[in-house]
């Protein structure tokens, strides 16, 4: 048993002062009491920490390297994707492990307690399988064992290069599996997770309606009937047109009509939806996996957050391409995208909750559901996924309640974060991951060697 004590905390009962949290050796919260004398580890403002619900760890190494114009007349998501595919061909298992460890460290330092890794690079460059089909899953797990972040591993089924069934392009052959081979990969990933603490989870990720067949999608949904199911959908308008031309429906329309979309599902992006799709998705119980920084970076478009939230829709936040790891900036970008479109302010706030409160509550609850972690609320019986802000930071000093979240998200940033616990593991102290220096040193070495090779 360990004790934490916070000046203020956001618990299941609301904002409380002088809060003592007892965490069991199993990483689960045993008790939350207010008006207590300080005892054990002290912190300023204690909050439930979200799961980062969408990451492709390796893409971190590309950050800042795709901001020039190429030969294509118009730079776009599709030209970015070509560069990403080309870069990917150089990555070895060691590189992937080092990059994953580094970006997971950044996620923890940004306040995320866990991550859903949407893991789609499975084979060697050229598409030849590794001797152990789980080789790269093992590397993700090895990095996770090092950083301690909570992991929901999502092995990805990727069958073809477009919904007409065209063959995988040269950049995509490291991803490709038939359903039969994917099942073996899924089993290997399950075995790999045995090396991690008990809060890790396994899910299934059919990549997108572009990359899986209708039969492949049905296979993936049936593989582990209770596991989390994540899929990219409705990110780019070209994808909407392609699916509509081939299957006669818009992607979200088709999915909602042909599959039982419920609380197992996390639909990544869901950017381009008609109002009837937004309303139906909101009522389904699924989580919309929003990635505001990546969606801005790739020029995807703006999610209809106002309609979605007013219909009770659940959402969470993913760092996706990992061009920048910042929870506060993801949340701020989500709200600001709505303001810019609607020319309004405090657009996602409600009569009861400020904007910052709506954003954090949504991200912790949606993230927990998407990662299948019994977390997202500071109360007894939940996994201790927590983070703490510095109560003496200039923008937090003397503030109370939801104003703390508004100040953190809109005026502050991740430098306000002092501590992070993942399932009770105290991984960030004084703003730094406990293995910060070693993880940075390894990443620098990897990047240097990649520069020499690419």
Applying CB under 6 A, the residues found at the interface with ligand NGQ are 56, 81, 120, 208, 211, 232, 235, 298, 320
Binding test (CB under 5 A) with Zn ion, winner from 97, 109, 300, 320: 320
Q: What are the CA-CA distances from residue 320 to residues 121, 149, 270 (Å)?
A: 14, 16, 14
> Is 90 marked active-site?
no
Candidates 223, 271, 229; CA nearest to 371 is 229
Q: Which two tokens stand for residue 281?
A: 């998705």
The smaller minimum CB distance to ligand NGQ, of residues 211 and 428, is found at: 211
Least distance in Å: CB of 5 to ligand NGQ?
41
From the candidates 95, 304, 320, 385, give the one annotated as an active-site residue. 320
Sequence-distant (6+) residues with CB within 8 A of 79 are 70, 72
Beta strand extents in 114-175 (DSSP E only)? 114-119, 150-157
Least distance in Å: CB of 61 to ligand NGQ?
13
Relative orientation angle of helices 179-193 and 214-223, to the nearest 10 degrees:
30
Q: Is 279 in the site for Zn ion (CB under 5 A)?
A: no
Q: Tell me which of ligand NGQ, Zn ion, none is bound by residue 81, counting a contact when its beta carbon lies within the kind-specific cut-off of 5 to 8 angstroms.
A: ligand NGQ
The smaller minimum CB distance to ligand NGQ, of residues 211 and 212, is found at: 211
Which region holds residue 383: left if phi is over 0, alpha if psi is between -120 and 50, else beta? Answer: beta
The smaller minimum CB distance to ligand NGQ, of residues 21 and 298, is found at: 298
Q: Which two tokens stand for residue 208?
A: 């997108």
Q: Tell me which of ligand NGQ, Zn ion, none is bound by residue 235, counting a contact when its beta carbon lies within the kind-specific cut-off of 5 to 8 angstroms.
A: ligand NGQ
Q: Is 239 in the site for Zn ion (CB under 5 A)?
A: no
Sequence-distant (6+) residues with CB within 8 A of 345 are 339
Candidates 246, 181, 172; CA nearest to 214 is 246
> Is 276 marked active-site?
no
Least distance in Å: CB of 130 to ligand NGQ?
20
Least distance in Å: CB of 111 to ligand NGQ?
22
Residue 88 has φ and ψ, to the nearest 5°, of -55, -35
From the candidates 56, 269, 272, 433, give the one annotated as an active-site residue. 269
Least distance in Å: CB of 57 to ligand NGQ?
11
What residue ranges bind Zn ion (CB under 5 A)?
320
Instruction: Give catalytic residue positions.
Output: 269, 320
């Amino acid at each position: 048993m360990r004790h934490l004590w916070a000046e203020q905390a956001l618990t299941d009962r609301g904002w409380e002062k002088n809060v003592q949290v007892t965490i069991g050796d199993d990483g689960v919260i045993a008790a939350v009491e207010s008006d207590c004398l300080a005892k054990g580890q002290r912190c300023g403002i204690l909050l439930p920490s979200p799961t980062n619900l969408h990451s492709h760890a390796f893409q971190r190494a590309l950050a800042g390297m795709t901001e020039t114009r190429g030969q294509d007349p118009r730079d776009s998501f599709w030209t970015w994707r070509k560069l990403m595919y080309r870069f990917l061909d150089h990555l070895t298992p060691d590189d992937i492990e080092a990059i994953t460890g580094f970006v997971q460290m950044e996620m923890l330092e940004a306040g995320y307690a866990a991550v859903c890794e949407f893991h789609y690079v499975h084979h060697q460059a050229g598409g030849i399988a590794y001797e152990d089909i789980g080789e790269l899953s093992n590397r993700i797990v090895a990095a996770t064992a090092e950083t301690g972040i909570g992991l929901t591993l999502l092995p990805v089924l990727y069958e073809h290069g477009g919904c007409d069934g065209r063959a995988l392009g040269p950049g995509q052959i490291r991803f490709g599996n038939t359903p039969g081979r994917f099942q073996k990969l899924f089993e290997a990933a399950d075995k790999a997770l045995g090396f991690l603490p008990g809060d890790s989870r396994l899910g299934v990720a059919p990549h997108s309606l572009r990359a899986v067949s209708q039969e492949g999608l049905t296979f993936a949904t049936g593989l582990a009937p209770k596991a989390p199911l994540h899929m990219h959908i409705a990110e780019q308008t070209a994808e909407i047109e392609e699916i509509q031309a081939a299957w006669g429906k818009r992607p979200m329309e088709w999915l909602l009509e042909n599959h039982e979309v419920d609380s197992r599902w996390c639909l990544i992006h869901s950017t381009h939806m008609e109002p009837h799709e937004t309303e139906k998705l909101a009522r389904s119980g699924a989580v919309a996996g929003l990635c505001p920084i990546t969606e801005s970076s790739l020029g995807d478009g703006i999610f209809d957050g106002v309609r979605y939230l007013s219909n009770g829709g659940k959402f969470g936040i993913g760092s996706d391409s990992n061009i920048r790891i910042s929870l506060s900036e993801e949340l701020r970008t989500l709200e600001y995208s709505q303001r810019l479109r609607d020319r309004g302010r405090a657009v996602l706030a409600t009569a009861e909750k400020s904007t910052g409160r709506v954003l954090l509550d949504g991200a912790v609850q949606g993230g927990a559901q998407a990662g299948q972690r019994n977390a997202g609320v500071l109360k007894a019986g939940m996994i201790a996924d927590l983070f703490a802000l510095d109560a003496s930071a200039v923008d937090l000093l003397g503030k109370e309640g939801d104003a703390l979240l508004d100040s953190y998200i809109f005026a502050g940033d991740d430098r306000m974060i002092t501590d992070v616990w993942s399932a009770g593991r105290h991984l960030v102290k004084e703003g730094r991951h406990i293995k910060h220096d070693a993880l940075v040193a390894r990443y620098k070495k990897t990047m240097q060697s990649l520069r020499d090779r690419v």
